[in-house]
A and B are shown apart, each in its own frame.
Chain A
Amino acid sequence: QSALTQPASVSGSPGQSITISCTGTSSDVGVYNYVSWYQQHPGKAPKLLIYDVSSRPSGVSDRFSGSKSGNTASLTISGLQAEDEADYYCSSYTSSTTVIFGGGTKLTVL
């Protein structure tokens, strides 16, 4: 099963909002509300930002929000900050009882 499709890179200036897309199929993103988003800084373990499409774990800033439409999920970061520069990964449960990740998106804060 191929990875979920994410843009390789996105960029934005401090204070701006950016959106990262995550496109799957009718066997994963399109049929389950089990999409998660992770942030990973270089040399660090991933950190859960969003789960179940739009839920935030306690302690995660409300600048991070998630949504889904059809086979595509999205992560929006508002009020971009320098510390948001990192790699971002989406993941989804699949109809094959597996988990699939996106290829990752590198966010650059200009």
Chain B
Amino acid sequence: EVQLLESGGGLIQPGGSLRLSCAASGFTFGSCDMSWVRQAPGKGLEWVSTISGGGAKTYYADSVKGRFTISRDNSKNTLYLQMNSLRAEDTALYYCAKAIGGGWSKHDYWGQGTLVTVSS
């Protein structure tokens, strides 16, 4: 059974940093592209970033480029999102999602999310 478990969210002041983690199990983690998708309270889904299975290729939304860094440790089956220079508009539930093989823009498994609140 595929499981994705996010952690690391919390309350952080504007300008601060936070690192999210996503522990994966039930599939060959290193063979799958992985993404972070966020959802602000009461709002729609917003794609944040994707990393290739081997970690060599990364992609970012313009809204987070230069501030967020996606990475992975395939030996630990874990995905990360380092978030720096956080802003109020980054407040959201952050989902970890597994991409379907053959294209990283579609995601067949999602975690339950970890909440990030940026506020003073």
The residues of A with any CB-CB pair to B shorter than 8 Å are: 1, 3, 34, 36, 38, 40, 45-48, 51-52, 57, 89, 91-93, 97-104
Stretch at the interface among B7-15, B22-30, B105-113: B105-113
Which of B45, B105, B113 is close to A92, meaning CB atoms less than 8 Å apart? B105
What residues on B are CB-neighbors of A101 within 8 Å? Answer: 44-47
Q: Check if B103 sits within 8 Å of A34, measured CB to CB.
A: yes
Q: In the complex, which residues of chain A have a beta carbon less than 8 angstroms from the beta carbon of B110?
A: 45-47
Which residues of B line the A interface, CB within 8 A?
Answer: 35, 37, 44-47, 50, 59-62, 95, 100, 103, 105-108, 110-113
Cβ-defined contact, B105 with A46, below 8 A:
no
Minimal beta-carbon separation of B103 from chain A (angstroms)? 6
- How many Å lie between the Cα of A92 and that of B47 in the bound state? 10
Contact status A99-B111, CB under 8 Å: no
Verify A1–B45 contact, CB threshold 8 A: no
Tell me whether A97 and B47 are in contact (CB under 8 A): no
In chain A, what residue has the closest Cβ to B4? Answer: A45
Supposing A45-B95, A97-B59 touch, asked if A36 and B105 sit within 8 A by C-beta, the answer is yes
Are A100 and B95 in contact, CB atoms less than 8 angstroms apart?
A: no
List 3 tightest A-B contacts by C-beta distance, closest first: A93-B105, A99-B47, A45-B110
Q: By the criterion CB–CB under 8 Å, are B105 and A91 in contact?
A: yes
A52–B47 touching, CB < 8 Å: no
Residue of A nearest to B35 (CB): A99
Q: Are A45 and B111 in contact (CB under 8 A)?
A: yes
With A46-B95, A51-B100 in contact, do A89 and B44 touch (Cβ < 8 Å)? yes
